[in-house]
Structure 1
Amino acid sequence: MQKKQIKLGLAPTRRRVFSVEDSLKYKKLIEEKLKSWKIDFVNLDSLNKEGLLFDRLEAGRAAKIFIDAGVDALFVPHVNFGTEDAVAKLAKEVQKPLLLWGPRDEAPLADGTRLRDTQCGLFATSKILLRYGVPFSYIVNSRVDSPVFERGFKNFLAAARAANSFLKARIGQVSTRPGDFYTVIINEGELLERWGIETVPITLVDVEKGVLDMVKKDKRLKDTVADFKARGVKFKDMDDETVGRVAALKLYLLDWAERENLSAIAFQCWDALQLALGIVPCFVDSELTAMGIPVACETDINGALTSILLQNASITESPTFFCDLTIRHPEKENSELLWHCGPFPHELV
């Protein structure tokens, strides 16, 4: 299963008038929690001796640390009130998905002193982010070990994975859309201009030639067919030569996806391929999807992009499946038949 791996920029922020010691305690707690979840993160220990963001004049240097490290998202825990303008300047410069959070405050001390005032600080930061035009997500004040924090953080990470997989995606396009399928018309120029998404076209003639060449001389073919059979795949009414073409199609698409760094594939699955090779690609589509390269039927590029989003947003390792919403259940109000010709990964069984 291919999922976009997220590198997180961790920018704990404090305000000068609150406890430095308590801020450093929460910085340590957060880093320990992220390590326990095996999160790849870059902190600000090289920014200053505290590794905290509290000086607006250091926001540019902090941004450079994250940009140079190639982070995919920002997490800004307010370890006390925080320095809202520094956070806004940092986020504006880095331009990555942003998560705000602060620990829930304890009761004031006996003398009335408060350690953090994180809720008030989060309100201030969020207001300035709106002024700067920076979108953000947030988790309500909560303890580091609380289910609220874990759920909010992991949901954000899933959303960040989805966003990063969508932007600048490369979709392999096998032939044109089927003539009658106006529903899968796309604006290729808009995809490139707005989100940096590229389509990588190939013709069915190229696919046919590549598959037939593989059938003749690719040494991997035998092992691929053996793997099918070892997993209990049944090729009903298909001779060995036809099964070999199915295996060759899988290998051809995998090689193409690796060579072109494809995120997903949109395949014109009928009916020219059947005429050219005497096979349907549905099983092969399911194989690639199970391996983390979603394949959408009928040259549905928007469907391929949706599959990428779902694959990366999912917190499970279950693969996506591509289907039509066909009919409502005859009697049950909240039931629907999800159907297609067979591109569902075998892992879903």
Structure 2
Amino acid sequence: PQVKLGIVAVSRDCFPMELSANRRKAVVEAFNGEIFECQTTVENEKDMRKALAEVKEAGVNALVVYLGNFGPETSETLLAKEFDGPVMFAAASEESGDNLIGGRGDAYCGMLNASYNLALRNIKAYIPEYPVGTAPEVAGMISEFVPVATALLGLKNLKIISFGPRPQDFLACNAPIKQLYNLGVEIEENSELDLFAAFNDHKDDPRIPDVIASMEKELGEGNKMPGILPKLAQYEITLLDWMEEHKGSREYIVFANKCWPSFQTQFGFVPCYVNSRLTAMGIPVSCEVDIYGA
């Protein structure tokens, strides 16, 4: 990702706005690189919207919110919330004791309040380890922000393609497993390929004829596709064996199994009937997207 930096100064309305604007100019001059200097200094929410429009028009994708003085907590944190990209917060230290009336910044205290307000709004921002400094020091902080912003922009636009147990666009599958652990249950996730290998290992299993007979009896006149029963019986035995071999320290088992989209073409059947038979045995089976239902 190509980072295009921008900097917006903020100023609490009880301080001279020029103080924050002049400190922003000093940071830009000290920065060794390209950075868009937003000319709107933010005192209130209307200023925030105006500054946001400026940086967006300039193509900025990583923003530095700079507290040239105490800073307005609402406006500065909303700026971070509404900016669509990585945001860094830093603040000015008081340069000297020569001008403590017009030039006093109170930036350290303002930075503490900014941090607190970001947390109140659940806004994630990059804050340097010690985020208050002179113009050259803040410029150095911005340089350290660049690789962070690069990584965040990359992650924001990243797609991971995986081949495993979950079908496309079903992140509800077994993904939120922390809440399962919170319930006190154990979970073992396996690859569909592992299941396919186990299924193939059960080809010509001597128990298959007995399971077919059970299915024929159960289906009766509903046995519309008798040719598929050998594979269904093979699959049922596969799951029952898998259960016994993988129980581990637990007593009860439920399944949440993937059944599409390539299941039909590779296994050669749809597993719903076997799922219902296992459920009747006291072994609930759901589609993996309904693991909580199971």
Instruction: Report the TM-score, using the length of structure 1 for normalisation.
Output: 0.43
Question: For the pair shown, which has the larger CA radius of gyration, 1 or 2?
Answer: 2
Instruction: Report the TM-score, using the length of structure 2 for normalisation.
Output: 0.50
